[in-house]
Amino acid sequence: MLADWQPTASLANLRLRAELLKQVRALFDARGFLEVETPLLCADTVIDAHIDPLSVTLAQAGRHDPSACRLWLQTSPEQCMKRLLAFGAEAIYQISRAFRAGEGGPWHNPEFTLVEWYRVGDGTQEGIALLSAVAEELLGRGAAEQLSYGAAFQQHAGVDPLRATEDDFVAAARRHEVPIPPPAKGDAAAVDEQAKLDAWRELLLVEVVAPRLGRNTPTIVHDFPASQAALAQMRAGDPPVAERFELFVDGLELANGYHELLDADELIERGERANHIRTSLGKQQLPRPQKLLDAMRHGMPAASGCALGFDRLVALVAGAGKLADVWPFPTDRA
């Protein structure tokens, strides 16, 4: 048994962690990326329906201060890094702590480390190629195979995720003996038809598709459903898809990237949609990211960007079964 003060990670894993930090820096430095640092505390945060930021009150030193302003601990360094792109930075990376409320489990901790990068001029293909190279260098398991979101579901769950109806998803879940969750109090599936279909996609992704991804070589899934575009550009087609890509290794979601959305009005609309879902779930509304919108209106250059979960990466390289094996003090013991 560990005493309360003791770390959950071995010194060997902490040495491996330090080694991988060096490798990440070497990898991006060699490609001419500039390492940047941006604030963890900001007035705005990315508005996600299902990611909950923690807030901090900036009070006068040691006193109760009713006028104190509330700042958000960043759920990713995305906003400030994009403001740097709009200001002229061309290729930047950052190794940053990120915070997400309510996320705790073998592969989640409310405080975690992201490696995030952006390169101006990259489209989806270049973004995927860079992520593949990063994965190959850091994991040593070869180049990543590429699979569209649709093909991944077809192959592993036998359903076309972009065209399926709720009945099709139910049938696929039953075929794979997936326990179907009962309706919850705050249930995104109850918001509208689109959110309901997304809930089915997420259930099948978590239970059936993801566990089968990245087993031999890393897998990069691309062309996400339009409803899961987040901050990615859309690509016209039938149906249109989001230029979003994700890396899976040993069934674990390791990185998420976009051909970045540039249209400020579109960002406002997506934020309102996310806030609408948040309200239905009984969650607080998040403020409009005004400074990012200003930066986008000033002119953010076309770029691809990606965020990689560093703790999960270390765990995969270490052959560990949980984040606590590579992060010394998980939040419930910090």
Residues within the interface to another protein (CB under 8 A) = 48-51, 102-108, 178-189, 198-199, 202-203, 205-207, 210, 228, 230, 246, 253, 256, 281-282
Cβ proximity to another protein: between 211 and 301 the closer is 211
> CB of 61: closest distance to another protein in angstroms?
33
Instruction: Point out which residues pair with 145 in neighbouring strands.
Output: 219
Alpha carbons 297 and 229: distance in angstroms, whole number: 20
DSSP secondary structure code for residue 88 in this structure: T
> CB of 153: closest distance to another protein in angstroms?
13
> CB of 1: closest distance to another protein in angstroms?
16
- State the pairing for strand pair 91-99/34-35: parallel
> CB of 213: closest distance to another protein in angstroms?
12
Cβ proximity to another protein: between 76 and 304 the closer is 76
> CB of 198: closest distance to another protein in angstroms?
7
Question: Long-range contacts: 284-290, Cβ < 8 Å, 24+?
Answer: 286/45, 286/47, 286/53, 286/72, 287/43, 287/44, 287/45, 288/44, 288/47, 289/44, 289/45, 289/46, 289/47, 289/79, 290/43, 290/44
Cβ proximity to another protein: between 86 and 229 the closer is 229
Query: Alpha helix locations (H) across the chain?
Result: 11-30, 78-86, 124-139, 149-157, 166-175, 193-204, 264-280, 290-299, 310-318
> CB of 67: closest distance to another protein in angstroms?
32
Cβ proximity to another protein: between 288 and 322 the closer is 322
Cβ atoms of 49 and 277 within 8 Å: the answer is yes
- Residues in contact with 328: Cβ distance below 8 Å, sequence separation at least 6, in sequence order: 7, 8, 9, 14
Cβ proximity to another protein: between 225 and 303 the closer is 225
Cβ proximity to another protein: between 121 and 181 the closer is 181
